[in-house]
Structure 1
Amino acid sequence: MTLISRRAVLAAAALAAPATLSAQSQARLLVIGGGFGGASAASFARRTYPELEVTLVEPRTSFVTCPYGNLVLAGVKQIGDITHSYDGLRAKGVRVVHDWATGIDAAAKRVRLAGGETLTYDRLILSPGIALRWGALEGYDEAASALMPHAWVPADGAQTLLLRRQLEAMPDGGVVGLAIPGNPFRCPPGPYERISMIASYLKRHKPRSKILALDAKEAFSKQGLFQDAWAELYPGMIEWVPSNRDGRVVKVDPRERVLETEFGTKHKVDVANVIPPQSAARIAIEAGLADNSGWVPVNPRTFEARTAPGIHVIGDANIPGPMPKSGFVANTTSKQAVAAAVASLRGQAPPEAVYFNTCYSHVGEGYGISIVGVFRPNAEGTAIAEVPNSGGVSPRGSHPEQRRLEALYADAWYESITKDMFG
């Protein structure tokens, strides 16, 4: 693949801009990936820049969200409640192509699809999500996930439903083991919401059961709030083991349901949820966009890949500095990426950028907590920084009514953001 310089891309775009954007549907925006980043980008582009011709490439015909998947495990939601159609995007005028993107030619501005079609573009928004690093934990390959589900890449919901069935089949008094990865990974508070919602299910149906959470980190997002809730709602049920107490899982035995830590401690459990280390999705790596970390470094103002100007990488696949890999961040940064892409086509500078994150977590029935943050590029435009005194978490020791309201706010957030994505 041949890469061209940012200066060349901007110069060519400036020359072409009057012809490109003066006629209806002449500028071609191609979006790869139909999740929180890609669907948000396609929806925003059609809504804000009707002169664009927008194509979305996504292999699956419906999208199952990671957010609220933990509520399916608890039996609070059904898989249909978190499954969304692309029909709303089609109604807005987005061309939706259900196929796999298999290769990117950055110089020719072409994308190959598995079905044989080649799509050309003026600007590319790449939101491919993550890949699970099969084999990063000894014994945990794709086949092992049929016995020890990860339920971290929802796809069609099969992994979430498998873990749900295993919880239902587990005898009262059984042990649920979780292997939690080190940073960075998709949705930092997600494993701890999962612990909470599994505990909620066990408390109702299998109250003698326990949860063993083996963690490759020494601390985690919203830790004080989660642990306060565990002590209040699920006393004695949850044991969290950090890495400095031999919590890092390095090997698994799927058939025997054994999780082995780095100092050789073997934990036999009744149900195992293994969340393995992750990287950017394969297409980002094969296109040469990722660095040695496995993630894609990007321009903090435009989200263009550092190695390929003209390709804007959003969502979980990039390295967003202090911003977490969350659905809200994917949504808010998708809009800046689209606006920057259009500005480039017009020969203009990208708009000033500010990014937001709000992340709600359910920890029990009518019990929610949250964390918020505001971010922007630094003065040099070289990195993203958190705006001082802009963020925070739910106060500890809040009144039960506050926790109930936060659970309602979480539900409203989910409804709002999925409508923004899919219409």
Structure 2
Amino acid sequence: MPKPILISRRGVIRAAAASTALLACPAIAKARPKVVVIGGGAGGATAAKYLRHGDDSVEVTLVEANRIYVTPFTSNLYLGGLKPFEALNYGYEGIAARGVGMVFDSVAAIDRDAKQVRTASGARLSYDRLVLSPGIDFRWDAIPGYSEAAAETMPHGYRGSAQFQLLKRRLDALSDGALIVIIAPPNPYRCPPAPYERASMMAHALKSRGVKNARIVILDAKDHFAMQTLFIDGWERHYPGMIEWQDPTIHGGIKAVDPKAMTVTTDFETHKAALVNVIPPQIAGKLARDSGLADASGFCPVDAGTMISLIDPSIQVIGDSATGGEFPKSGFAANNEAKGAAMILRAELLGERRMPIRFTNHCWSDIAPDDAVKNGARYTPQDGKIVASDPYTSQLDESAELRAKQAREAAGWYIGMTTDIFG
């Protein structure tokens, strides 16, 4: 016969106390995964917003040097006098309201081994995963005589509010007989139709002010460009004799620019210009390159199905710095990539459902007020690369009504896009 178990009064009290303690102190919750997003443009801001996805399952911190983002997309309309500069400006209040931690500072370095981001002010931000969207940088030395300092005289006007405004001031100061030279970059670069929409909007601004006999010469590094026949047709209709496009077989190559003399020398002639808009060849943002995430192309290779860096699997690179195939570099593309990257990341960190990534890109370009053309395509990951399908583009014989409708579409897209990013 087993001996009876004797429980003392003291033991009962201790057991009761232990039970109460267990009820009062539930298991310590697992720490939320930390994601740091660098870059508050169309890619980074979208990623930060969609990583929150209406809950606080992921701790998201967005690091951005500027408190106001100036959209490069539609900045040509500002040059053309069709849009005020203030309409390009967006703050991050909507992003912060969704629970994203905002750090307004530049990034000094990424310590990939320690998984830390170090800011210029000395802060250290730890991450489980990093989303990097640093935008573009320029090959400053690709054109002899050009440099970052020279951009203060021959503005690129391709990023940053100061450059957009400088280019606008120089354009508005031109008088009769002025010559503008635009140096268009080789592929790949941000927004393939942008230099040609820019020429259109410059011509519109000059025509609207009554400037006579002004000319715009585009010296291109390419032998063709996006929607070329549509732009040339539009130039002949709206600005006859005003815009001249030259491919390398015509100009023979850019030999040098001289910011002091305001000249551009090609293999065949030297242009003395009132305004020179140099759009240099482009590469991934400096931070991406300094962090060892770019390859010999100057851009960051990623897996197209996840946007995960092929160099560091704890980092996703999105937007203009990434290269994964045929997807163009644009605000629309960056927004698409950011949504896909956020979905992939939440699935990995939280076990959420993961759908196959699909991309689209649509681009509207204004040749004149109420005359916009467009192109676009669908894109799917195949064998780690982004491959285009179902492309479309505007046609030469489109009616004036259709072109005006497309201009309204472009305006509506901008409202929808910026609301999706910053709203």
Same fold by TM-score greater than 0.5 = yes
For residue 91 of structure 1, the aligned residue among 76, 90, 97 is: 97
Q: Which amino acid aligns with 1:419?
A: T
346-355 or 163-172, which moves further after superposition? 346-355
Decide which structure has the larger Cα Rg and report it.
2
- Deviation at 1:231? 1.1
For residue 313 of structure 2, the aligned residue among 309, 323, 331 is: 309
Deviations 1:190-221 (A, max 9, x none): 00000010011111221321111100000001
Q: Tell me how far apart the structure 2 counterparts of residues 337 and 209 of structure 1 sit (CA, whole Å).
A: 46
1:364 maps to 2:368: yes
Residues 43 and 420 in structure 1, CA contact (< 8 A), matched pair in contact too: no
Deviations 1:70-107 (A, max 9, x none): 11111111111101011111111111111111211223
Q: Which amino acid aligns with 1:32?
A: I
1:222 maps to 2:224: no
Q: Tell me how far apart the structure 2 counterparts of residues 324 and 183 of structure 1 sit (CA, whole Å).
A: 10
Q: Which amino acid aligns with 2:70?
A: V
Q: Secondary structure at 1:251's aligned position in 2?
A: strand
Q: Tell me how far apart the structure 1 counterparts of residues 265 and 315 of structure 2 sit (CA, whole Å).
A: 41
- Deviation at 1:264? 5.2
- Aligned match of 2:421: 421
1:118 maps to 2:124: yes
1:333 maps to 2:323: no
Aligned residues: 395
- Aligned match of 2:179: 175
Deviations 1:16-36 (A, max 9, x none): xxxxxx969712111000001
- Deviation at 1:382? 2.3
Q: Secondary structure at 1:306's aligned position in 2?
A: coil
Q: Tell me how far apart the structure 2 counterparts of residues 228 and 293 of structure 1 sit (CA, whole Å).
A: 34
Residues 293 and 311 in structure 2, CA contact (< 8 A), matched pair in contact too: yes
Residues 180 and 214 in structure 1, CA contact (< 8 A), matched pair in contact too: yes
Residues 54 and 98 in structure 2, CA contact (< 8 A), matched pair in contact too: no
1:139 maps to 2:145: yes
For residue 352 of structure 1, the aligned residue among 356, 359, 368 is: 356
- Deviation at 1:250? 3.7
Q: Which amino acid aligns with 2:341?
A: A
Residues 227 and 264 (structure 1 numbering): CA distance in 2 closer, same or farther, change over 3 Å?
closer
Q: Tell me how far apart the structure 2 counterparts of residues 211 and 247 of structure 1 sit (CA, whole Å).
A: 18
For residue 103 of structure 1, the aligned residue among 97, 103, 109 is: 109
- Deviation at 1:66? 0.5
For residue 246 of structure 1, the aligned residue among 246, 251, 258 is: 251
Q: Tell me how far apart the structure 2 counterparts of residues 366 and 247 of structure 1 sit (CA, whole Å).
A: 36
Residues 109 and 117 in structure 2, CA contact (< 8 A), matched pair in contact too: yes
Q: Tell me how far apart the structure 1 counterparts of residues 321 and 379 of structure 2 sit (CA, whole Å).
A: 18
Flag structure 1 segments of 5+ consecutive residues without an equivalent: 1-21
- Aligned match of 1:300: 304
Q: Which amino acid aligns with 2:47?
A: A
Q: Tell me how far apart the structure 2 counterparts of residues 351 and 299 of structure 1 sit (CA, whole Å).
A: 15
Q: Which amino acid aligns with 2:372?
A: G
- Deviation at 1:347? 6.0
Flag structure 2 segments of 5+ consecutive residues without an equivalent: 1-27
- Aligned match of 2:271: 267
1:191 maps to 2:195: yes
Q: Which amino acid aligns with 2:312?
A: A
Residues 56 and 99 in structure 2, CA contact (< 8 A), matched pair in contact too: no
Q: Tell me how far apart the structure 1 counterparts of residues 413 and 398 of structure 2 sit (CA, whole Å).
A: 20
Q: Secondary structure at 1:304's aligned position in 2?
A: coil
RMSD between aligned residues: 1.6
Q: Which amino acid aligns with 2:149?
A: A
Q: Secondary structure at 1:305's aligned position in 2?
A: coil
103-112 or 59-68, which moves further after superposition? 103-112
Residues 25 and 41 (structure 1 numbering): CA distance in 2 closer, same or farther, change over 3 Å?
farther
- Aligned match of 1:11: none
Q: Tell me how far apart the structure 2 counterparts of residues 277 and 377 of structure 1 sit (CA, whole Å).
A: 26
For residue 81 of structure 2, the aligned residue among 75, 79, 104 is: 75
Residues 252 and 268 in structure 2, CA contact (< 8 A), matched pair in contact too: no
